[in-house]
Amino acid sequence: MLAWEECCAEPDPAELKEENSNVKSATDRFRLNFLIVFVRLVNV
């Protein structure tokens, strides 16, 4: 029961917001790295 509550309980909005910003920054970093690699490939 406890595991189910942990898994499926309504997430805390503040926690969710923090998670979303972490995901967003990770995505931005990935895009930036991808862009850098792409530019290097094009320049070679």
Give the model confidence (pLDDT) of 1-44 as tens digits. 455 455 555 656 666 677 777 778 888 999 999 999 999 999 87
Q: What is the pLDDT of residue 23?
A: 76
pLDDT of residue 37: 93
**Residue 44, helix vs strand vs coil:** coil
Q: Virtual CA dihedral for 35, 38, 42, 44, nearest 10 degrees?
A: 110
Tokens of 41: 């490939």
Domain boundaries, the chain: 19-44
pLDDT of 1 reads 46
pTM of this structure: 0.47
**Whole-number pLDDT of residue 4:** 46
